[in-house]
Chains A and B, each alone.
Chain A
Amino acid sequence: MQAALLWAALVFYAFGIAMTVPSVIRRRPTLSPSTLAAVGFGLLLHASALALAGAQIRRLPLTDVCSALSFFSFLATLAFFLVYLRYRMAALGLFMLPLVFVLTMISALHPERPLANPAFRGGWLLIHIGSSILGYTAFFLTFVAALMYLFQERELKSRRPRALYYRLPSLEVCDELYSRSLLLGLPFLSLGILTGFVSASRMWKGPWELDPKILASLVTWLIYLVLFSTRLSGAYRGRRSAYLAIFGFVAILATFLGISLWSGQHGYVPELGRLP
């Protein structure tokens, strides 16, 4: 049932994306109401799919990599909606929706194995996963804002306005979105890492600190810490900060998806992970 709902949500997301394209090509300042309706309805379907999955296992649907991915893409789409309602720029849809669509599709294509791993029933672990995902969502916004900033900054530096100049928001708006999402993301990610350490120490013995995924997450967290402090102090602002934010998000994707498949103890994929 939830698979069907998820696919239905994907269809509506696809409609939404398809309808964004003419808006941006024709330089309409805002997205059409039908685009918003399509994405909104898709969001509802997506939420229902997640709610059903959650109801089945009687906790948040975060217990396997596909559910977590689905949850992440849901939050990202929700974030798109909230940010769009605040800033009302069509370009936002073009930057955010395709990536979200791809992530949702990946999660729809892989079967869910909700409680395949008994370890994923504990409370701490779910807080760890949930908090990390919230952090990732915020940093996804940071990534999008950084991209838009870079494109617009390049236009302004070139002094010859071309297509993107008219369609992207001001540098200030990009920077505002950037710093606010950064401010939101770091506490969540920190909480995620902390609760992760707590769960790990309760669940595993041995040098789990050296597990690749855990190390990678720490590196990611450090990147964002640097990003946050340099932006706050103004030491890095503008282009340099934006490049770092993009690198940071790539690190997140690598940590979340890539290493999940290779990690020893931290492997999300039960067959590969050797959990006690």
Chain B
Amino acid sequence: MNLLLVGMNHRTAPVEVRERLNIPESRLAAAVSDLVRREGILEGLILSTCNRVEFIVSAAEGLDAEACLRQFLAEYYQRDFRTYANYLYWYHEQEAIKHLFRVTASLDSMLVGEPQILGQMKRAYAIAHESGALGGLLNELVTQAFAVARKVRRETAIGTAAVSVSYAAVELAKKIFGNLTGKTIFVIGAGKMSELAAKHLLHSGASAIFVSNRTYDRAVELAQTFHGTAIRFEQLPDYVGKADIIISSTGAPHFVVQKHQVEKMLAARKNRPMFFIDIAVPRDIDPAVNELDNAFLYDIDDLEQVVDANKKQREREAVYAEEIVQQEVQKMVRRLAARELGPTIVALEQRLDRIREGEMERYRSRLGSLTPEQREALDALTRGIVNKILHGPITELKSGAGRPEHGMLVQLIRKMFGIGE
């Protein structure tokens, strides 16, 4: 196996450098075809997103893949290699597999647990596949990377907790109401933030929406974009009780919703819970509302707190995710090594057998004529020597099949005995 991964990401390179090396999707197919046309490059895949550019290749045994790739990069980008060489990382063999798995599982992303990288990797895989740049090894590695990413998402919670204020609001709503289908939203004050939160909530299943604003026309405007109903500001107390989730962001200097009003609303709703999101400064909703049973009030600071707690939660989950990735990398390395084992042993035996036969041939004349028994004895002698020599290496190869350094052992033996690809 001669696997190499080279690239840069948001941590190693600033955006000015990354944007110069970014390969738009329209040119990706041509680039990866170009890559595998190179002498000695058997398979290749290119991943190019706004946060990273990575090249992964499987090369012929014995080829200096790094040099080959350096040359490819210099020629492809038509730019002095040294201007960006410092920003690149190079991963070989097992490290390359680990990096591939980590990236696909979103562990290397700016926001760990983000879902976009999986789709981006799938696009890159599809393009490489269509261009005929994929062979057995990369195909297997990338397919397994997808499986590992799915496993990580399934068995850890890295992708679940919301890390932006508007998504945190949705998540909290779900913690209160279960699922949001059929729930009603009330937007008080038509501002950008409340619009965004409302959009997320509607997207997550909420169905009806009321909008109210001091200027009625603005309320009508916003209500129309959401296919909702506009409510006159003076009629606010009569309609707020009909909603389950209330988002407030008016510029009013006083409280727009009071505790005694909410008490009445709750009674009228048979105490079905109400979730108030107050993103206004100064606050629109009397904080005492949170004291009421079945009413939940979060202001902008509270939402930030939730986001912070969620970020810590993601970091904790990331630790478990790394463990899973590490296990999967080991499994993959062992599997690949075991596959190389069979052919390696055969090649080893064949190599030594050829040496044996070659020497026998060479000394035939010097040995003179031999009786059949003598020839047989000579045959057995040389075979015995070869077998005894091979016994050590072959035992080592077979017994080491479970250990991580086995791959290196196989490479070493192939090198030592001059067994090619």
Cβ-closest chain A residue relative to B177? A172
Whether A203 is near chain B, meaning CB under 8 Å from some CB there, is no
Residues of chain B within 8 A (CB-CB) of A29 are: 157
Q: Which of B157, B177, B310 contacts A170 (CB 8 A)?
A: B177
Q: Which of A160, A162, A237 contacts B271 (CB 8 A)?
A: A237
Residues of chain A within 8 A (CB-CB) of B270 are: 233-235, 237
With A162-B309, A238-B293 already in contact, 12 other A-B pairs whose C-beta atoms are closer than 8 Å: A27-B316, A29-B157, A156-B172, A161-B309, A165-B309, A166-B157, A170-B178, A172-B176, A233-B270, A234-B270, A237-B271, A238-B273
> Interface segment, B196-204, B298-306, B381-389, B400-408?
B298-306
21 chain-A/chain-B pairs, Cβ below 8 angstroms:
A27-B313, A152-B175, A156-B296, A159-B290, A160-B305, A161-B310, A165-B309, A170-B175, A170-B178, A171-B175, A172-B176, A172-B178, A172-B179, A176-B178, A234-B270, A234-B271, A234-B272, A237-B272, A237-B293, A238-B294, A239-B293
Interchain CA distance A260-B238 in the complex, whole Å: 54
Interchain CA distance A156-B303 in the complex, whole Å: 11
Q: Which of B175, B293, B305 contacts A156 (CB 8 A)?
A: B175
Q: Which of B155, B157, B176, B179 contacts A171 (CB 8 A)?
A: B176
Given A159-B305, A160-B309, A170-B174; A234-B269 close (CB under 8 Å): yes
B271 near A170 with CB under 8 A, answer no
Whether A88 is near chain B, meaning CB under 8 Å from some CB there, is no
Residues of chain A within 8 A (CB-CB) of B313 are: 27, 166
Whether B146 is near chain A, meaning CB under 8 Å from some CB there, is no
Interchain CA distance A240-B294 in the complex, whole Å: 10
A166 near B176 with CB under 8 A, answer no
Interchain CA distance A156-B317 in the complex, whole Å: 22
Interchain CA distance A240-B292 in the complex, whole Å: 11
Cβ-closest chain A residue relative to B175? A170
Residues of chain A within 8 A (CB-CB) of B178 are: 170-173, 176
**What is the total number of residues of chain B having a CB less than 8 Å from a CB of chain A?**
29
Chain B interface residues (CB < 8 Å from chain A): 155, 157, 161, 172, 174-179, 269-273, 290, 293-294, 296, 298, 302, 305-306, 309-310, 313, 316-317, 320
Interchain CA distance A173-B178 in the complex, whole Å: 6
Please give the distance in Å from B128's CB to the nearest CB on chain A: 34
Residues of chain A within 8 A (CB-CB) of B309 are: 160-162, 165
Residues of chain A within 8 A (CB-CB) of B177 are: 170-172
Residues of chain B within 8 A (CB-CB) of A26 are: 320
Please give the distance in Å from B233's CB to the nearest CB on chain A: 28
Residues of chain A within 8 A (CB-CB) of B310 are: 161
Please give the distance in Å from A127's CB to the nearest CB on chain B: 36
Cβ-closest chain B residue relative to A233? B270
Please give the distance in Å from B288's CB to the nearest CB on chain A: 13
Interchain CA distance A28-B152 in the complex, whole Å: 12
Can you list, as one digit per residue, whether each of A170-202 has a CB less than 8 Å from chain B (1) or not (0)? 111100100000000000000000000000000
Interchain CA distance A236-B270 in the complex, whole Å: 9
Please give the distance in Å from B398's CB to the nearest CB on chain A: 33
B290 near A157 with CB under 8 A, answer yes
Please give the distance in Å from B298's CB to the nearest CB on chain A: 6
Residues of chain A within 8 A (CB-CB) of B305 are: 159-161
Interchain CA distance A238-B290 in the complex, whole Å: 14
B296 near A157 with CB under 8 A, answer yes
Please give the distance in Å from A182's CB to the nearest CB on chain B: 15
Please give the distance in Å from A262's CB to the nearest CB on chain B: 37
Interchain CA distance A239-B290 in the complex, whole Å: 13
